[in-house]
Amino acid sequence: MRWGLAVVLAVASIGPAMAQSITVRDAFDRSVTLPAPPQRIIPIFASNVEIVASLGLADRIVGIEAYTRYPREVLDRPLVGGRLGFSVDAVTALQPDLVVVTPSRQAANQLIDPMERIGVPIMVLLQRSVPEILDNIRLMGRVAGVSGRGEEVVARFQARLDAVKRKVEGQPAPSTIMITGRLGNGLMLVAREGTYTGDAIRLAGARFALPGTAMLAQVSPEAILNADPDVLLWAGSERDLKELLARPGWADMRAVKGKHAHAVSRVELLIPGPRTIDGIEHLAAIFHP
Partner 1 sequence: MKVWLGLGAMLLLAMIVAACAGHEWASPADLLRAIEGDQALRSRLLFDWRLPRVIAAAFVGALLGLGGTIYQGVFRNPLAEPYLLGSAGGAALGATVALLVPLALPQSWLLPLLAFAGAWGATMLVIGISRVAGAVDAAGLLLAGVAVAAILGALRSFLMLALSDETVSLQVVLSWVLGGVQTPTWAGIAVLVLITLACVALSLALARKLDVLGLGETMAVAFGLDVHRFVMLAVLAGSVIVAAAVAFGGLVAFVGLASPHVARWLVGPLHRPLLPASALVGAIVVVLADAIARAALPPAEIPLGLVTAVAGGPFFVLLLARRLRT
State which residue, 108 or 284, has the beta carbon closest to partner 1: 108
Kindly state whether residue 1 participates in binding partner 1, applying the rule CB under 8 A.
no
Q: Which residues pair with 262 in a beta bridge?
A: 233
Query: How far is the C-alpha of 11 from the C-alpha of 68, rounded, in Å?
Result: 32
Angle at 37 between CA 93 and CA 143, to 5 degrees: 105
C-beta separation of 172 from 163 below 8 A = no
Residues 184-223 touching partner 1, rule: CB under 8 A, are 195, 215-217
Q: Which residue stretch of 112-120, 170-178, 221-229, 280-288 sits at the interface with partner 1 (rule: CB under 8 A)?
A: 112-120
Q: Under the criterion CB under 8 A, does residue 105 sit at the interface with partner 1? A: yes
- Residue with smaller CB distance to partner 1, 16 or 119: 119
CB of 47 to partner 1, least distance (A): 11
83 binds partner 1 (CB under 8 A): yes
Return the range that interacts with partner 1 (CB under 8 A); candidates 29-37, 103-111, 205-213, 237-245.
103-111
- CB count, 10 Å around CB of 204? 25
Site string for partner 1, 226-265 (x = CB under 8 A): ----------------------------------------
Residue 106 CB burial class (10 angstroms; 0-12, 13-18, ≥19): middle
Contact between 126 and partner 1 (CB under 8 A)? yes
Window 27-66: contact mask with partner 1 (x via CB under 8 A) = ---------------------------------------x
Stretch of 75-83, 146-154, 230-238, 240-248 lying at the interface with partner 1 (CB under 8 A): 75-83
Q: How far is CA 1 from the centre of its chain?
A: 15
Q: Where does the chain have alpha helices with state H?
A: 46-54, 88-93, 107-118, 130-143, 147-168, 196-203, 221-227, 238-245, 254-257, 266-269, 275-287
Instruction: Identify the burial level of 18 via C-beta atoms within 10 angstroms of its C-beta, where 0-12 means exposed, 13-18 middle and 19 or more buried.
Output: exposed
Of 30-38, 97-105, 250-258, 260-268, which segment contacts partner 1 by CB under 8 A?
Answer: 97-105
Binding footprint of partner 1, residue count (CB under 8 A): 35
Residues 6+ apart with CB under 8 A from 87: 80, 81
Which residues are within 8 A (CB) of 5 and not within 5 positions of it... i.e. 6 or more apart?
135, 138, 139
Q: Is 117 in the site for partner 1 (CB under 8 A)?
A: yes
Burial (CB count within 10 angstroms: exposed 0-12, middle 13-18, buried 19+), residue 218 = middle
Task: Name the residues that contact partner 1, by CB under 8 A.
Answer: 66, 79-90, 92-93, 95, 102-106, 109-110, 113-114, 117-120, 126, 128, 195, 215-217
